[in-house]
Structure 1
Amino acid sequence: MNETIEHALSPQDCLVMLMIAVSVSDQTVRTSELIKIENQVNTLPIFGTFDIDRLPQLANTVYDLFAEEDGLDALFGLVRDNMPEKLNETAYALCCDVAAADGTIRVGELRLLEEIRDELDIDRLHAGAIERGARARHMTI
């Protein structure tokens, strides 16, 4: 079993794993999505104490989970067990930003965002505002 799963994850680990999950949800990890994840980890206050060297390990954990039949449920279980509810909207906002990073939100990303929204119990009105903000931040001319 992956070492990350055997040890408690930090709330930041959970946020990163959700962002990575959105990136891989459409079967293609795009450079713009990886850059978005790295930029968010490097600049947002929530990641102030996060060890960026954990990114590859967390990515491998997500890949391993997605290779399993119930991997998404397992990921959500890890998030439930290791991330406080007060970060649910933060997690959804970060995931929306990753999905929007390349200018196109694909079907796999939309489906996963919907599942994340449901799993994290994000109110539909709040989710709409978060989604609109992500769209506005990633608009091009």
Structure 2
Amino acid sequence: MTDHSFSPQDALVALMITVSASDATIRTSELLTIQSIVNHLPIFAGFDEDRLEGIAQTVFDLLEEEDGLDAIIGLIKESVPDTHYETAYALACDVAAADGKVFQTELELLREIRYEFEIDPLHAAAIERGSRARHLTL
């Protein structure tokens, strides 16, 4: 993955990893959420899980660069059809909510994703509320 080209599925995984890494701590609950999403959602049918490590390394390498986050978002926008931007945002929200807390850095990243993907504010609120509801604990 040294050429930084992503399939649409790779890009969605990269987005989830980016959200997980955004607060400088990748939590087990976030990794389990990513694994569960990749294993169960139809959008990942046929995805080669052996690619996860390489995608994660690409994300980590890019995040070390000065404009790395912009590069990651650019790669995701190039790879994911705009018809699937809301799906991408929903996956990002699920990872952010996975540990029961959404940290300021995650909120800022979600705001950036909403802006870059031109997610309608009402749709974004509904997606966020759904993620929050799915990740509540008793």
TM-score if structure 1 supplies the norm length? 0.95
**Structure 1: gaps (5+ residues):** none
Instruction: Provide the rounded CA distance (Å) in 2 between the counterparts of 1:82 and 1:4.
Output: 14
Q: What percentage of residue pairs aligned between the two structures are identical?
A: 60
Alignment partner for residue 30 of structure 1, among 27, 31, 36? 27
**Structure 2: gaps (5+ residues):** none
**Match in the other structure for 2:47:** 50
**Match in the other structure for 1:3:** 2
Instruction: Provide the rounded CA distance (Å) in 1 between the counterparts of 2:51 and 2:110.
Output: 24
Q: How far apart are 1:32 and its partner, in Å?
A: 0.2
Equivalent residue pairs, number:
138
**Match in the other structure for 1:61:** 58
Letter in 1 for 2:72: L
Q: 1:136 to 1:124 in 2, by over 3 A?
A: same
1:116 and 2:101 are equivalent in the alignment: no
Q: How far apart are 1:65 and its partner, in Å?
A: 0.7
Task: String of CA shifts for 1:38-67, please: whole Å, max 9, x gaps.
Answer: 000000000001111100000001101110
Letter in 1 for 2:109: L
Instruction: Provide the rounded CA distance (Å) in 2 between the counterparts of 1:67 and 1:73.
Output: 12
Aligned CA RMSD, in angstroms, stands at 0.9
Q: How far apart are 1:9 and its partner, in Å?
A: 1.5
1:91 and 2:88 are equivalent in the alignment: yes
**Match in the other structure for 1:18:** 15
1:82 and 2:76 are equivalent in the alignment: no
Instruction: Provide the rounded CA distance (Å) in 1 between the counterparts of 2:98 and 2:3.
Output: 27
